[in-house]
C-alpha cells in the first residue's frame, strides 16, 4: 500500500490534495483518479456547465505519476 495525492485542476484554478489516499497499487490509484475527477465534474455541473478538469496524481515523494483529463462539450 502506498499514499497518493490527487490534485484537481480546472479553468478556475487548482486544489492541492494535502490528505491523500492509501491505494494498493498504481492501478488502484488510476481508478481513484478517474472516480475523483468524475465526482468533481459532477459537483461543478450543479453550479454551471463545466468545460472540463484534470487531476494530477502524486506519490508519497511528491513525484507526478499520473495525469487524467476530462473534457466536457455540448452540441
Asked whether the beta carbons of 11 and 51 are under 8 A apart, the reply is: yes
User: Domain extents for the chain?
Assistant: 2-71
Asked whether the beta carbons of 37 and 54 are under 8 A apart, the reply is: yes
pTM of the model: 0.85
Q: What are phi and psi of 21, to 5 degrees?
A: -135, 140
pLDDT digit string (tens) for 38-74?
Answer: 888 888 877 776 678 999 999 999 999 999 998 877 7
Whether residue 18 is predicted with pLDDT greater than 80 in this model: the reply is yes
Amino acid at each position: 500500500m502506498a499514499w497518493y495525492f490527487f490534485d484537481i485542476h480546472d479553468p478556475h484554478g487548482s486544489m492541492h490534495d494535502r490528505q491523500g489516499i492509501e491505494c494498493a497499487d498504481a492501478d488502484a490509484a488510476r481508478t481513484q483518479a478517474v472516480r475523483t475527477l468524475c465526482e468533481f465534474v459532477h459537483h461543478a455541473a450543479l453550479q454551471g456547465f463545466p468545460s472540463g478538469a484534470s487531476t494530477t496524481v502524486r506519490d508519497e515523494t511528491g513525484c507526478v505519476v499520473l495525469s487524467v483529463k476530462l473534457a466536457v462539450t455540448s452540441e
